[in-house]
Amino acid sequence: MLYANVRSQGDKWKNEQKALQKCLKILPDSLNVLDVPVGTGRFFPFYKEHHHTVTGLDISPDMLAMARRHDDFSEEHMSLAEADITALPYDNDFFDVAVCMRFFNLVNADVCSQSLRELSRVSKRYAIIGFRHINKPSHFGVQAIKQHILRFVKSLKGKIVLHDIEVLNQALANAHFKIVQEEFIEKRADDTTYCVYLLEKYD
C-alpha cells in the first residue's frame, strides 16, 4: 500500500477526497456505483458511509489486489473485476452513478471521448470525474511561454496528457453529459486547472 500511503499525504489527494464526498452528499444513498479505475479502493469508506453497492473495475490486477485488501472492502456490498473502461461489460443504465478519477489525463482525446460515452451508456443518470485542462491563455508574454515549456517538458516525461478545455467540452457533449457541480482541486504553474465534476445525463 506504499503507493496510496505516499500519495495520500499530498494536498491534491486530500482535495480529491473532499470533492468526492461533496458530490456524493448531493446524491441519494443506497445507489449502485461503478468506480473505474478503482485503483487502491481509496473511495470505499465514502461509499460505505452512504450504503452504496459498488463495482470496482481496473485494468491492473495489482491495483485490484490492493483494493481487495482495503480495510473497507466488503464482499457483501462490493465486487472487483478486471475490465477496460472503453468497453464496459454491462448493459445500458446498469449503474446509478459512475466514478472515474485520475484517468482522463493518462489517455488521448479519442480515448477520453470513448470512455465518457461508455460511462454515460452504463449509468442511468450521473457520473463523477476528475479532469485537468489547460487554461485558455489570457496573455502571450514571457509567462505564457514558460507555462508552455513546462507543459511540453511534462509531456515528454510521459506522466500526464494535458488537454485543452475544448477536449472536455466536446467529450461531454458526445456523451450527453452536463456539469451540475464543479469542485476546484488545484491550479499549477504550467497554467493547468484540475477539477472534480459531478455530471448529469441529458436527452
- In sequence order, the 6+-apart residues with CB closer than 8 A to the CB of 76 are none
The residue behind cell 461489460 is 89
pLDDT score, position 114: 98
DSSP reduced 3-state for 151: helix
Task: Grade residue 137 by pLDDT with cuts at 50, 70 and 90.
Answer: low
What tens digit of pLDDT does each residue of 108-124 get?
999 999 999 999 999 99
Which pairing describes strands 95-100 and 177-187: parallel, antiparallel, or unpaired?
unpaired
CA 98 to CA 56: how far, in whole Å?
A: 10
Per-residue pLDDT at 7? 60
Average pLDDT over the chain, rounded to an integer: 89
Which value, to the nearest 10 degrees, does the dihedral of the CA atoms of residues 24, 21, 190, 142 take?
90
Angle between helices 109-122 and 165-174 in degrees, nearest 10: 30
Q: How far apart are CA 133 and CA 164, in angstroms?
A: 5
CATH annotation of 2-201 = 3.40.50.150
pTM summary value? 0.87
Sketch the domain layout of the chain as residue ranges.
Answer: 2-201
Q: Residue 130, by phi and psi: left (phi above 0), alpha (psi -120 to 50) or beta? A: beta
